[in-house]
Amino acid sequence: MATSQESNIRSSDSKARITLPKGFTNTLLQVEQIDEFEVRIRKVAAIPVREMWLWHNPNALESVMTGIEGAKNGVFVDGPDLAADAAEFHVAKE
């Protein structure tokens, strides 16, 4: 990914606000204060907490991505045999 190093001087207002380049419009940002003289601003994506486990489990993530890629290419697997599963666990049919 190519990056552009835009550097120019900007003034903050009385509430310490500055304007950012247009590429930051309507985006979620992480603002990290490096020290008293430097701040790093990065574009980020939010991941819901209940879905975060997937990003921390490489095997599960690979499996999901493989499934998505397969679906894009029209490759599907047969669904589970629910009747056999119910019989195995002695669950009555509804």
Contacts of 1 (CB under 8 A, 6+ apart): none
Find, among 54, 56, 74, the residue nearest to 65 by Cα.
Answer: 54
State whether the Cα torsion 5-8-12-17 is positive or negative.
Answer: negative
**Is 12 within the bounds of a domain?**
no
Q: What is the pTM of this model?
A: 0.51
**Is 1 within the bounds of a domain?**
no
**Is 32 within the bounds of a domain?**
no
Tell me the CA end-to-end span of the chain in Å, nearest whole number: 55
**pLDDT tens digits in sequence order for the chain, 94 residues long:** 555 666 788 999 999 999 999 999 999 999 999 999 999 999 999 999 999 999 999 999 999 999 999 999 999 888 888 988 888 887 766 5
- Which pLDDT belongs to residue 88? 85
**Is 84 within the bounds of a domain?**
yes
- Which pLDDT belongs to residue 92? 67
- Which pLDDT belongs to residue 5? 65
Q: What is the dihedral of CA 78, 83, 88, 94, to 10 degrees?
A: 140
